[in-house]
C-alpha cells in the first residue's frame, strides 16, 4: 500500500494516489508486534524509470499490504520502497522484486528499533 503517490515526470499512467486515511486504518489492523520495517534501495536499469513504474503498477504493488510507500530518488539508487510485515513476507517481496529485469541491484536496510513519531515528538516537547 502506498501512503502517498508514485509519479514519474508527467506520465499520468505511472502516477497513482491513494486515500491515506483508509490505508492507515487497514495497516493498523494488519500490523502486530512481530512486524518489521525495511527500506529497500533499488537501482534501476538506466533510462527505464517509466518502465519500472509501469512494472510496479502491473504487479499491484500499490495495493499490497506489505508495501507502505515507494519514492523515486536522486543518488546512488533510483527508488526506495518501504516494506512492513513479517520477516518472511518482507523477504518474499524482495525476492519478487529482484526477479524484474529492470532492477540492477537492491540493498535492504532492516530496522532494528522502530520508533513512533508520536513518542519522539512527545519527548521533544518535554
Distance CA 56, CA 103 (A): 11
Q: Residue 28 pLDDT > 80, yes or no?
A: no
This prediction has a pTM of 0.66
pLDDT at 107: 96
Q: Residue 58 pLDDT > 80, yes or no?
A: yes
Report the pLDDT averaged over residues 78-107. 93
Cell numbers describing residue 72:
523515486
pLDDT at 44: 96
Query: 81 pLDDT band (50/70/90 cuts)?
Result: very high
Angle among Cα 41, 42, 46 to the nearest 5 degrees reads 145
Mean pLDDT of the chain: 75
Helix (H), strand (E), coil (C) string for the chain: CCCCEECCCCCHHHCEECCHHHHHHHHHHHCCCCCEEEEEEEEECCCCHHHHHHHHHHCCHHHCCCEEEEEECCCCCCEEEEEEECHHHHHHHHHHHHCCCCEEEEEEEECCCCCCHHHHHHHHCC
pLDDT at 59: 86
pLDDT in tens, 30-47: 444 578 999 999 999 999
Give Cβ neighbours of residue 20 (< 8 Å, ≥ 6 apart).
3, 4
Query: 82 pLDDT band (50/70/90 cuts)?
Result: very high
Q: Which numeric CATH code is attached to 5-124?
A: 3.30.70.920
Amino acid at each position: 500500500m502506498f501512503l502517498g503517490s508514485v509519479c514519474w515526470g508527467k506520465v499520468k499512467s505511472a502516477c497513482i494516489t491513494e486515500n491515506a486515511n483508509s490505508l492507515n486504518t487497514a495497516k493498523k489492523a494488519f500490523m502486530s508486534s512481530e512486524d518489521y520495517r525495511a527500506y529497500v534501495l533499488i537501482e534501476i536499469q538506466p533510462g527505464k524509470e517509466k518502465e519500472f513504474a509501469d512494472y510496479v503498477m502491473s504487479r499491484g504493488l500499490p495495493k499490497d499490504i506489505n508495501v507502505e510507500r515507494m519514492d523515486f530518488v536522486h543518488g546512488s539508487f533510483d527508488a526506495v520502497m518501504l516494506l512492513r510485515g513479517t520477516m518472511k513476507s518482507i523477504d518474499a517481496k524482495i525476492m519478487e522484486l529482484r526477479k524484474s529485469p529492470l532492477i540492477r541491484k537492491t540493498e535492504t536496510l532492516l530496522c532494528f528499533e522502530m520508533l513512533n513519531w508520536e513518542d519522539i515528538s512527545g519527548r521533544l516537547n518535554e
